[in-house]
A and B are shown apart, each in its own frame.
Chain A
């Protein structure tokens, strides 16, 4: 059993910074907790991780060599398990952050100076790049190649800036990677009127003529006349739709964008009340987009009109 002890003492002295293994472990625990609680990816402490892994391997070898003096062996094994848990939890936490913020992290990595330390270890960098490639490839095959050629790019520059919120509702949003879509949706949650208010103004001129004869503009049509709305949707059958629903706590904004292959026309259709038949209709449509339809929520339907078929 003395093998174990000797090994430990030696490796403690071999550390470059002459830290004892105990200190390395403490530093690693600190890094682990910091990584857990910080929303950002922190500097990679690969040296600590490597040191601990060496220790674990060494200890395991010793245990295998040592005779079955069970008590000490079991204690050492317990400690190895504990350390292994810390290391894997630390690495897993970092990987999770890398997966969530891939584009941003890779962008930062490209822009950093030579002197600053990298926040990613070499393996993590490879992982991030591969993951990013796989994800864009997947989105391309799934959705993007069906979209009009102009829009077949993934715009990595997604600002969650207040002023550009309104823009977020435009085409770019649909072409983004999953993580970015989430960000936007979240932001619009909080600042729901500000982006929508200018949008509303912007889109008035794009509105359709309302099929119901009394009003000029579909957007202004207060008659929740189901029949007319259904016919409106029917008439646009030859144009593909992309639907996106952004939830607002007092209702839904339905944003229908149409892509006429011959000429682009953006149209926005707002409804603050979702009539179930329309919801059903929309859901039955063929549409692409990333996870968009899964965010549709049902809100209460207030029956305000008479003609319901």
Chain B
């Protein structure tokens, strides 16, 4: 039904923050406006554009707030906290972004230098992913065996 490429395609619509190193006036795309780009100032662009810019060495990607391992006083939801929450809860917990897995994969692949603690982040996200998949598997298994009409 859906292959990984299509899922990535959907994830690429997410906005990420980049810091360009060139100037560009406001662009009117079919899918919306992309604000004026000025060197040194962070701006939100869709992920597909961000990756394209990065590959052309025209910008720096700023990691999203949640993509951080350090438990800081100001950011309450770091990845380690998320992982703890996921382990403790029986159901799925709310993830910082619907496409957290794809974002991590894509950003860590193309912008490793811009994201601090890349390896730890990769491990943490993978752990969270595994936890959720395991929950999904056992839930579906019980659901199918018990003949119920829906499963939470």
Binding site for B on A (CB under 8 A): 4-5, 8-9, 21-22, 25, 36-37, 52, 55-56, 59, 71-72, 74-76, 78-80, 82-83, 85, 89
At the interface, is chain A mostly helix, strand, loop or mixed?
helix
Q: Would you call B30 and A75 a contact (CB within 8 A)? A: no
* Per-residue contact bits, chain B 17-55, to A (CB 8 Å; 1 contact, 0 not): 000000010111111100000000000000011001000
Q: Would you call B2 and A59 a contact (CB within 8 A)? A: no
- A129 vs B48: C-alpha distance when bound (angstroms): 40
Chain A contacts for B27, CB-based, 8 A: 5, 72, 75
Q: Does B1 make an interface contact (CB < 8 A)?
A: yes
Which residue of B is nearest A74, CB measured? B52
Q: Which of B2, B24, B32, B49 contacts A22 (CB 8 A)?
A: B32
Number of residues from B at the complex interface, CB < 8 A: 17
Q: Would you call B31 and A79 a contact (CB within 8 A)? A: yes
User: What distance in Å separates the Cβ of B28 from its nearest Cβ neighbour in chain A?
Assistant: 4
Q: Which of B24, B26, B49 contacts A78 (CB 8 A)?
A: B49
User: A22-B32, A56-B30, A79-B30 known; 17 other A-B pairs, CB under 8 Å?
Assistant: A8-B28, A8-B29, A9-B28, A21-B31, A22-B31, A25-B31, A37-B1, A59-B30, A71-B24, A71-B58, A72-B24, A75-B27, A75-B29, A78-B49, A78-B52, A79-B31, A89-B6
Which residue of A is nearest B37, CB measured? A71
Residues 45-75 of B at the A interface (beta carbon under 8 Å)? 48-49, 52, 58
Decide yes or no: A82 and B2 within 8 Å by CB, A8-B30, A55-B30, A75-B29 being known contacts. Answer: no
Decide yes or no: A78 and B48 within 8 Å by CB, A36-B2, A71-B24, A72-B24 being known contacts. Answer: yes
Q: Would you call B9 and A85 a contact (CB within 8 A)? A: yes
Q: Would you call A36 and B1 a contact (CB within 8 A)? A: yes
